[in-house]
Amino acid sequence: MGLPARQEDVRAVMVAVLTPYLGRNMAQSSAKLYLERLGPVTAVGAAEVEQILTWMRPGLRVFAGEQRAALVLGELRAALMKLLEGA
Amino acid sequence: MSSRSRVDPYLAAVLLVVFALFLPKLVLADTHLYRELLTPRVLLTAGCALKICALVIAALLAGRVARSFAPGDAMRTGWWLATVWLGCWSLGQGYLGVYQIGLGTSAPFPSGGDLFFILGYPAMIAAFAFFVHAMTTTGLVGPLRAQLVVALAAALPAMVLLVFVLRPVVSADVAPAERALNLAYPSLDVVALLPALLLARFALRLAGGAVFFVWALLSLGIVCMVAGDLLYAWFSSLSFSALDPVLDVAFIAAYLLVARAVFQQHRISVSVRAPPDEAR
């Protein structure tokens, strides 16, 4: 696993993955909400990524259903891990 | 991957055909076109068939959508209630179809079909309440109280219109059952309009995403239905039939929009292999 990534980069990845499903506004609100929930951290590591995905699951299930939510979260996990590996 | 909203070309095409078939009758009713080709029977049959197809497909898909949510999930309950709503209305429209397609005449009012339509309303309103509840629990659409105030303000014109429309209905010289239904339909519609407007507000926050179309089309469908029912009650109490093509278009559009909304949710949560761009 690589170094923690900057919050701005994590936010950008989250918005990019969520926008096709939730639209840009909701994707940005969602990314902001969950990153703020992490508290005053400037860098995001693998543990924080897993925490964010856990927080996101119930909300995403409401809009997209069980299977699609799992698919989107898998896509997001892969994109964020790729970011961490490149950090 | 594009995130821009785009109008569903198939839905737009079907709606355009419906408008083109029904609305010119408002000014061309006495022409060859509407006396020989698009006769009342042809329009009645086409309109009824479209409504039955839209409602049956929507009911079947809503059931599949419900199963895509986990047991105990508020959205699952909401979609099951939507299945009951659309199932009841399919039966109601099917009952009307016996007259409109089978016999080529307008169905009597009231009829057995109204029983199914009335039975569908509590399920529809409860479904919307579950959807709103589930969405507010995500923390992404803002607090319910603030949203409710805005939705109430938005529903106010419909409530004022309801009072205006119901006044002649109350005093109309019609059978008690007809009066009761002419009061019940618009009143239940306005009750349903409130959560539908909340869903429309939530939809605006989802603009640009695949999920947007589910709630935007559903809300728009309900708005068309409310408009149709309010006008129907009003025209019926005044024995005014010149604007019937507007009613036909309102109801057909409402059911098509609702069916497309359910199909959209089906593409998102059931056809999970489809990428989000295809789900639009």
Chain A residues inside the 8 Å CB shell of B269:
64-68
Tokens standing for residue B222: 């309900």
Identity of the amino acid at A78: A
B263 interfacial to chain A (CB closer than 8 Å): no
Q: Is the pLDDT of residue B272 over 80?
A: no
Q: What is the mean pLDDT of chain B?
A: 88
pLDDT of residue B48: 95
Distance between CA B262 and CA B21 in Å, rounded? 25
CA distance B246 to chain A (A): 34
Q: What is the pLDDT of residues B102-144, one digit of tens each?
A: 998 888 888 999 999 999 999 999 999 999 999 998 888 877 7
The set of residues, in sequence order, having a beta carbon less than 8 Å from that of B212 and lying 6+ positions away, is A23, B5, B203, B206
Chain B, window 116-155: residues with a beta carbon less than 8 angstroms from a chain A beta carbon: 134-135, 137-140
Q: Report whether CATH 1.10.3470 matches the domain B7-278.
A: no
pLDDT of residue B2: 38
Chain B residues inside the 8 Å CB shell of A30:
140
Q: Which helix (H) or strand (E) covers residue A44, if one does?
A: strand A43-44
| Subunit contact B206:A25, Cβ cutoff 8 A | yes
pLDDT band at B280 (very low <50, low <70, confident <90, very high): very low
Q: Is the pLDDT of residue B222 over 90?
A: yes
Q: What is the pLDDT of residues A20-66, one digit of tens each?
A: 999 999 999 999 999 999 888 778 888 999 999 999 999 999 999 99
| Subunit contact A59:B140, Cβ cutoff 8 A | yes
DSSP string, B225-273: HHHHHHHHHHHHHTT--TTHHHHHHHHHHHHHHHHHHHHHHHHHHT-TT
Tokens standing for residue A63: 């809009």
Q: Per mean pLDDT, which range of B60-69, B196-205, B252-261, B268-277 is the poorest?
A: B268-277
| Subunit contact B205:A25, Cβ cutoff 8 A | yes
Chain B residues inside the 8 Å CB shell of A23:
3, 205-209, 211-212
pLDDT of residue B20: 95
Compute the average pLDDT of residues B268-279: 67
Distance between CA B80 and CA B73 in Å, rounded? 11
pLDDT of residue B104: 86
Q: Which helix (H) or strand (E) covers residue B3, if one does?
A: none
Q: What residue of B is the nearest CA neighbor of A30?
A: B140
Query: Of B153, B89, B158, B145, nearest to B120 (Cα)?
Result: B89
Q: What is the pLDDT of residues B190-211, one digit of tens each?
A: 899 889 989 998 999 999 999 9
pTM of the model: 0.90
Residue ranges of the domains in chain B?
Answer: 7-278
Handedness of CA B248, B251, B254, B259 (dihedral sign): negative
User: Which of residues B52 and B166 earns the better pLDDT score?
Assistant: B52
* Dihedrals phi, psi of A41, to nearest 5 degrees: -110, 140
Interface A–B counts its CB contacts (< 8 A) at 92
